[in-house]
Amino acid sequence: MAALPRRRSLGLRRAVATPAPELGGVPLSAGALVETGRPPGGGWRSHLGSLLFLAPAVIWLAVIVGYPLIGTIRDSFYNGNSTSFVGLANYKTVFSTADILVTFRNNVIWVVVAPFLLTFLGLVFAVITERIRWATAFKTVVFMPIAFSMTASGLVWNSIMNIDPHVGVLNATLETVSDWFSPPGLYPVNTSAGQTIASLAASGLRPGPGGTLVSSASVSPGQSLRLGLIGISPATLELVGAKSAQTVSPVSGAVNGLVWRAFSPAHPTVRNQVFPGEDGIVGMHLTLLGSDGSSVATTTTDVHGDFSFTGVSSGSYHVQLDSTNFSSGFTGIYWLSGNQSITPTSGLSQTAQALLSIPLVDMSMIIAYLWIWAGFAMVIIGAGLAAINREVLEAARIDGATEWQTFRRVTMPMLAPVLVVVFVTMIINVLKIFDIIVNMAPSVSQSNTLATELYYVGFSSPPAYGLASALAVLLFILVVPVIFINLRRIR
């Protein structure tokens, strides 16, 4: 008995994941010899005893897993409440209903994209954590989300990917970055509401290149311009502190003028006159363009909407309202949109593009999924890496292989079986994906998978048991190959 503790730790290491070979075939000590004869411990009672141990498991599995498996196949040929036989009608419905075909498309996206990215990410993490001193801390951080429910995780990511940059940290980050490069203008054009920059021009202006507005008439030093805009709300002007507009008189040697909101309730159709109560447009960035369209000078309007380019040499000029004034800046990406897609554009037919386009919401949910499961892949692949014989790696290095060659030619082939385990496990996992979708996708109909569709079809009222069972059977057929992979591996 003294050897017991040692045996125990050895057993643990092997046995947890390893189907160790049966010890029965190995000639053991006295015990094995006895086994070949009559069991000494009480004959049939001993047989019955150990069979009884198996009984609860077998009964439980037969009633709650085995029988239902057959029941589902039966139900799939029956109507909604399993009372009359309908043949293949449910399967025909599955393959002819557009909504259900969408679930197949989504399942294919999940199965193709998620396990691949996950295995890749797990491999990268496992390899690079071998080179840092704080690997345990890193692994704990990345592995931790696996303890969370996918419900909680889905809801967390729902908030992170919120379109409003005041709620979603992802869009808030993108807004900050975007504002560095192109800050929003004071008078953003609401393109999503159908507003265009050209529609802002009221008098003395025409659309210029690149989202600008340019004075219709040319101007020389000593002349004034009146540039009228509409479609800018009084509330916006009040917010930026605009004051009432006044007509500007020409000044010799300067190009000056007024940019104002050319709308008066008293004269709603007259655009080219400045009426009392109309406000100047403050803070408008202007550029003086030479006759060849080049920039000569820049200025900004004051609170009355006045501007002046002084010291201008004689010639013919245009005044441009810069595009930055109308830039709406970053308004947030609708990560959970089922209507926006990531579509390949290069030289493919429209059908191919439609087939290959991935709704943004699917990609967003896959990102959340990666967050949950990357640690799992990392830990398993990391264990696989640790099991690789270091002498083999050293030998490769001594032979002059570079780090990359060692990885590509020695580590990867030895690791391949582990990568397959992770990949296959994730395919199974992804086929059944349910929690993330119902908690993260705002419109489930766009991002339904087999598992969610099955739930909504089978457990709404009136229930469509037949249709749901047909979906369950299809789901089962998809995992059957993995059953055989497992059996081969374990035997």
Partner 1 sequence: MSAVQAIASPVTSSGRRLAIRLRPGRMVLNVVLALIAIFWMVPTISLLVISLRPSSSYGVSGWWTVFTDPAQLTLQNYKALFSTGFATGGILDSVITTALITVPATLLVTAISSLAAYSLVFGRWRGRTFVFLLIVGLLVVPVQVALIPVAQLYDAFFNLTGLHVYATLPGVVIFHVAFGLPFGIFLMRNFYTGIPKDLLEAGRIDGAGEWTLFRRVVLPLGLPAAASLAIFQFIWVWNDLLVGLVFLGGNAHHTLTIYLFSFTRTLSNDYWVIATGGIISILVPLAIFFAFQRYFVRGVLAGAVK
Any idea which residue has 């554009």 for tokens?
A: 345
42 versus 277: smaller Cβ distance to partner 1? 42
Q: Say which amino acid occupies 163.
A: I
Q: Hey, how many other C-beta atoms are within 10 angstroms of the C-beta on 9? A: 8
Interface characters, 150-169, with partner 1 (x: CB under 8 A): xxxx-xxxxxx---xxxx-x
- Exactly one of 104, 120, 275, 434 binds partner 1 (CB under 8 A); that residue is 434
Taking the complex as a whole, how short is the minimal distance between the CB of residue 359 and partner 1, in angstroms? Answer: 19
> In this chain, which stretch among 232-240, 241-249, 313-321, 415-423 interacts with partner 1, using CB under 8 A?
415-423
- Exactly one of 2, 6, 22, 37 binds partner 1 (CB under 8 A); that residue is 22
Q: Which two tokens stand for residue 125?
A: 């993490």
Closest CA to 260 of 302, 228, 214, 238: 228
Q: Distance between CA 317 and CA 217 in Å, rounded?
A: 9
The verdict on 2 binding partner 1 (CB under 8 A) reads no
84 versus 166: smaller Cβ distance to partner 1? 166
The verdict on 433 binding partner 1 (CB under 8 A) reads no
Taking the complex as a whole, how short is the minimal distance between the CB of residue 117 and partner 1, in angstroms? Answer: 15
Any idea which residue has 């439980």 for tokens?
A: 60
Q: Which two tokens stand for residue 43?
A: 């004959």
- Exactly one of 118, 214, 281, 473 binds partner 1 (CB under 8 A); that residue is 473
Q: Distance between CA 65 and CA 71 in Å, rounded?
A: 10
Q: Which two tokens stand for residue 350?
A: 């429209």
The verdict on 356 binding partner 1 (CB under 8 A) reads no
Q: Distance between CA 127 and CA 131 in Å, rounded?
A: 7
Taking the complex as a whole, how short is the minimal distance between the CB of residue 361 and partner 1, in angstroms? Answer: 14
58 versus 342: smaller Cβ distance to partner 1? 58
> In this chain, which stretch among 6-14, 91-99, 100-108, 190-198 interacts with partner 1, using CB under 8 A?
6-14
- Exactly one of 2, 57, 98, 266 binds partner 1 (CB under 8 A); that residue is 57
Interface characters, 71-100, with partner 1 (x: CB under 8 A): xx--x------x------------------
The verdict on 177 binding partner 1 (CB under 8 A) reads no
Q: Say which amino acid occupies 408.
A: R
- Exactly one of 2, 8, 349, 461 binds partner 1 (CB under 8 A); that residue is 8
The verdict on 19 binding partner 1 (CB under 8 A) reads yes
The verdict on 468 binding partner 1 (CB under 8 A) reads yes
Contact by Cβ (8 Å): 72, 454: no
Taking the complex as a whole, how short is the minimal distance between the CB of residue 339 and partner 1, in angstroms? Answer: 19
Q: Is 297 helix (H, G, I), strand (E, B) or coil?
A: strand
The verdict on 61 binding partner 1 (CB under 8 A) reads yes
Residues 435-454 that bind partner 1 (CB under 8 A): 435, 438-439, 450-451, 454
β-pair partners for 214: 206, 320
Those residues whose C-beta lies under 8 Å from the C-beta of residue 339, and which sit 6 or more positions away, are: 359, 446
Interface characters, 384-413, with partner 1 (x: CB under 8 A): xxxxx-x--x--------------------
Taking the complex as a whole, how short is the minimal distance between the CB of residue 440 and partner 1, in angstroms? Answer: 9
Q: Say which amino acid occupies 149.
A: S
275 versus 371: smaller Cβ distance to partner 1? 371
Q: Distance between CA 342 and CA 354 in Å, rounded?
A: 10
Q: Distance between CA 393 and CA 406 in Å, rounded?
A: 7
266 versus 477: smaller Cβ distance to partner 1? 477
Contact by Cβ (8 Å): 302, 248: no
Residues 110-139 that bind partner 1 (CB under 8 A): 125, 128-133, 135-139
Kind plus residue range of the DSSP H or E element containing 309: strand 306-309
Q: Tell me which long-range contacts 195-201 makes (C-beta under 8 A, separation of at least 24).
A: 195/231, 197/323, 197/326, 199/230, 199/231, 200/229, 200/230, 200/231, 200/232, 200/326, 201/228, 201/229
The verdict on 455 binding partner 1 (CB under 8 A) reads yes
β-pair partners for 257: 225, 307
> In this chain, which stretch among 3-11, 222-230, 238-246, 272-280 interacts with partner 1, using CB under 8 A?
3-11
37 versus 276: smaller Cβ distance to partner 1? 37
Interface characters, 222-241, with partner 1 (x: CB under 8 A): --------------------
Q: Distance between CA 347 and CA 377 in Å, rounded?
A: 36
The verdict on 380 binding partner 1 (CB under 8 A) reads yes
β-pair partners for 299: 286
